[in-house]
């Protein structure tokens, strides 16, 4: 993995490929490359490092990108899985003849077996990647028909792939295929584009086709032929995407992450807009496609997610149990499919994923469907695989999230989970007055976030004070416990500081042994249930000389004397408090990382969308 772009049309393809790769940079990568069909041959340019460096190297081959003779090409940004980051391991990969070039996201599970077989047939391998077997395998299967060759090769493959293939003998054709890794086709005028993410092609067309698993397509400038891997024609609809390309620009902010932190009032407003019904004191979530009677029959919820989305799900667990009275479990999605989960009748499995393409979460969706669960998705990307395969759920409408470390997706996920809990709660035990109160609180969330953002300079000063620390602990209770987990995750993702989140009660069960004056503790001590016990935990930290940064509710007269620094949070209930609090922790993490000189938008070793297990 990580990013794929392809173009065939009437224009020189180099500039389009490079621009597409630039728009995919946010996904994280360590090398990049492109292959162009020109002069009845293939020209490849590859390098480690940034797309800008690839652009410079490409200019050595094509001094004027608009006048080259190549009108079909593919390109890739790689995030290393098999083989270290290097120019040899970068995509595209060619066969021995140099006729076929492949770019690939995913993992070929049986690549060692295939490689040994191909070596026995005289193939020479140059890289350490699993992808290179594809180029040689396609070449061996080729008998003049490119689509058939790719299909024959993929029928020998075990694993996951989103791939694009070009051949020097077919200068106006690209073959693409997917299994477990997304591929989208952009339908233009006398040109066709492909990508692993619509952000790469949205500036060229708003008409797209999403491939399903085991779909293949042969594309030319004016045609798209879609088949499955068994070579049977299939039909896929053209969708119209609503993607604001300007939303994927920094617009004056130093980093995408900072921009997205400050976009959160509007992002949450977009998530809740039109979904709160004051007259009925409930939420309106038509995408769930559940009648009141069906909702009333759901007696258990399982939330499957990874990373930040799992932390949001842990907050949602409190919502569903406290508000709706529905027993709820949060499963690490990668474990869900392998531990043979018990799914009883009337269980809902809710798959939470910003991208809607997370491989482990998608696998959990399929396992849940096989076990007869009601399956819904909570995603941000319209047309994503999880959204299409579940067929029901909630779109966040948070807008593009470019920074690798998720920010506005988390706050929008929590807001959506709270609305969902209100909907289920009103169908069960929640009275009208409590429903009205919660709706009023949800409507205030954008304003609460804005109040925290207005205090960014104060948070920045605190961050600079602690930027040299190498260890942090985050502690909280109740729904502030998963908020602490998310705060620790944000800090470690972008600053590379060792940070751990704990339930505050767990301090004395081991972690307290690590506390000393060089180890700051961030204590979530908002004025909600559990606060008094958190204050006791703060005193335990102070007794070990650990400096404490507390989040506290405006007007808390007791907290200042117990801690070194306070981040003030507007007064709000326990159900909405995680949202403004996590925004404060995002800012704290951002300013610490900036002070340390870290590469914030593209942290080392991380990818935006994890499309392999």
Q: What is the pLDDT of residues 560-575, one digit of tens each?
A: 889 999 999 999 999 9
Residue that is written with structure tokens 């406290």 in the block: 322
Sheet holding 31-38, edge to edge: 41-48, 31-38, 72-78, 2-8, 192-195, 184-187, 207-210, 239-240
Q: In this model, does residue 611 exceed pLDDT 60?
A: no
Alpha carbons 384 and 393: distance in angstroms, whole number: 12
The region of weakest confidence among 17-31, 154-168, 175-189, 220-234 is 17-31
Q: Is 551 helix (H, G, I), strand (E, B) or coil?
A: strand
Q: Do 217 and 223 form a contact (C-beta atoms < 8 A)?
A: no
Active site residues: 2, 608
DSSP 414-440: HHHHHHHHHHHHHTTT--HHHHHHHHH
Is pLDDT of 1 > 60?
A: no
What whole-number distance in Å separates Cα of residue 241 and Cα of residue 80?
30
Per residue in 347-382, pLDDT tens?
999 999 998 888 899 989 999 999 999 999 999 988
DSSP secondary structure string for all residues of 291-302: -HHHHHH--EEE
Poorest-pLDDT segment among 12-21, 268-277, 396-405: 396-405
609 pLDDT higher than 70 = no
pLDDT tens per residue across span 306-336: 999 999 999 999 999 999 999 999 999 999 9
Rounded average pLDDT over 481-490:
97
d(CA 586, CA 463): 11
Rg (CA), the chain: 25
- Residue 460: is its pLDDT beyond 90? yes
Three-state DSSP class for residue 164? strand
For the cut 60, the answer to whether the pLDDT of residue 259 exceeds it is: yes
Write down how long the chain is: 613
Domain with CATH 3.60.20.10 in the chain: 2-243
CATH superfamily, domain 250-450, is Glucose-6-phosphate isomerase like protein; domain 1 (3.40.50.10490)
Looking at 3.90.1150.10, 3.30.70.100, 3.60.20.10, 3.40.50.720, the CATH number of the domain 2-243 comes to: 3.60.20.10
Helix (H, G, I), strand (E, B) or coil at 130: coil
pLDDT at 195 over 80: yes
Contact 480/572 with Cβ under 8 angstroms? no
Instruction: Identify the pLDDT of residue 49.
Output: 87
Specify the domain boundaries for CATH 3.40.50.10490 within the chain.
250-450, 455-613
Q: Is the pLDDT of residue 247 over 70?
A: no
Contacts of 21 (CB under 8 A, 6+ apart): 3, 5, 32, 34, 51, 54, 75, 76, 77, 200
Token pair 């609180």 is at which residue? 441
Q: Average pLDDT in the 264-285 region?
A: 95
Q: Is 356 in a helix, a strand, or coil?
A: coil
The residue behind tokens 């293949």 is 216
- What is the CB neighbour count within 10 angstroms for residue 31? 25
Q: What is the pLDDT of residue 68?
A: 84
Mean pLDDT, the chain, rounded, equals 92
Question: With 90 as the cut, is the pLDDT of residue 304 above it?
Answer: yes
329 φ, ψ to 5°? -120, 145
What is the three-class DSSP state of 209?
A: strand
* Alpha carbons 231 and 209: distance in angstroms, whole number: 19
Q: In this predicted structure, what is the pLDDT of residue 359?
A: 85
Query: Which tokens hold the place of 271?
Result: 């998530």
Give me 46's structure tokens.
């590859």
For the segment 51-64, the average pLDDT, to the nearest whole number, is 91
Identify the CATH assignment for 455-613 out of 3.40.50.10490, 3.30.420.10, 3.40.50.700, 3.40.50.2300. 3.40.50.10490
Predicted confidence at residue 365, as pLDDT, reads 92
Q: Which token pair is 399?
A: 């807008």
Six-digit token string for 386: 């999880």
Looking at residues 177-189, what average pLDDT do you find? Answer: 91
């Amino acid at each position: 993995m990580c990013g794929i772009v392809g173009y065939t049309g009437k224009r020189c393809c180099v500039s389009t490929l490079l621009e597409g790769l630039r728009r995919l940079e946010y996904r994280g990568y360590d090398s990049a490359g492109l292959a162009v069909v020109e002069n009845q041959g293939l020209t490849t340019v590859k390098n480690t490092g940034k797309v800008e460096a690839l652009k410079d190297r490409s200019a050595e081959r094509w001094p004027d990108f608009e006048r080259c003779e190549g009108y079909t090409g593919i390109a890739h940004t790689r995030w290393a899985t098999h083989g270290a980051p290097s120019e040899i391991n970068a995509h595209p990969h060619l066969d021995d003849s140099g006729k076929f070039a492949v770019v690939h996201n995913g993992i070929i599970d049986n690549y060692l077996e295939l490689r040994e077989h191909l070596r026995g047939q005289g193939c020479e391998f140059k890289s350490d990647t699993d992808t290179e077997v594809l180029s040689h395998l396609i070449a061996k299967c080729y008998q003049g028909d490119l689509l058939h060759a790719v299909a024959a090769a993929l029928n020998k493959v075990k694993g996951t792939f989103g791939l694009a293939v070009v051949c020097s003998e077919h200068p106006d054709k690209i073959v693409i295929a997917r299994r477990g890794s997304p591929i989208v086709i952009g339908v233009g005028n006398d040109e066709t584009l492909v990508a692993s993410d619509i952000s790469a092609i949205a500036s060229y067309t708003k008409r797209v086709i999403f491939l399903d698993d085991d779909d293949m397509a042969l594309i030319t400038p004016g045609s798209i032929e879609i088949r499955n891997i068994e070579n049977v024609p299939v039909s896929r609809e053209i969708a119209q995407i609503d993607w604001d390309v300007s939303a994927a620009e920094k617009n004056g902010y130093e980093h995408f992450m900072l921009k997205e932190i400050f976009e959160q009032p509007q992002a949450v407003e977009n998530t809740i807009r039109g979904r709160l019904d004051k007259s009925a004191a409930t939420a309106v979530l038509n995408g769930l496609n559940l009648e009141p009677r069906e909702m009333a029959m759901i007696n258990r919820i399982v939330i499957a997610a990874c990373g930040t989305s799992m932390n949001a799900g842990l907050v949602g667990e409190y919502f569903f149990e406290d508000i709706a009275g529905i027993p709820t479990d949060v499963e690490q999605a990668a474990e869900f499919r392998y531990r043979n989960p018990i799914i009883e009748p009337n269980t809902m499995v809710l798959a939470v994923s910003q991208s809607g393409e997370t491989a482990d979460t998608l696998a959990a969706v399929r396992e849940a469907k096989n076990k007869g669960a009601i399956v819904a998705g909570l995603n941000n990307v319209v047309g994503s695989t999880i959204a299409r395969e579940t067929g029901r759920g909630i779109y966040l409408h948070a807008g593009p999230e470019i920074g690798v470390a998720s920010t506005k997706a988390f706050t929008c996920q929590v807001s959506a989970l709270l609305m969902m809990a209100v909907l289920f709660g009103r169908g069960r035990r929640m009275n009208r007055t409590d429903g009205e109160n919660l709706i009023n609180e949800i409507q205030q969330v954008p304003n609460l976030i804005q109040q925290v953002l207005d205090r960014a300079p104060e948070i920045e000063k605190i961050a600079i004070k602690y930027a040299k620390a190498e260890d942090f602990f985050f502690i909280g209770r109740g729904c502030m416990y998963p908020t602490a987990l998310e705060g620790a995750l944000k800090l470690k993702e972008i600053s590379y500081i060792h940070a751990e989140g704990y339930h505050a009660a767990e301090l004395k069960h081991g972690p307290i042994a690590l506390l000393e004056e060089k180890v700051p503790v961030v204590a979530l001590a908002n004025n909600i249930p559990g606060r008094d016990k958190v204050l006791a935990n703060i005193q335990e930290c102070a007794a070990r000389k650990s400096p404490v940064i507390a989040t506290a509710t405006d007007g808390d007269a007791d907290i200042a004397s117990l801690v070194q620094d306070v981040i003030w949070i507007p007064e709000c209930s326990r159900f909405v408090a995680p949202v403004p609090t996590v925004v404060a922790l995002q800012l704290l993490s951002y300013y610490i990382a900036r002070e340390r000189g870290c590469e914030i938008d593209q942290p080392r070793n991380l990818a935006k969308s994890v499309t392999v297990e």
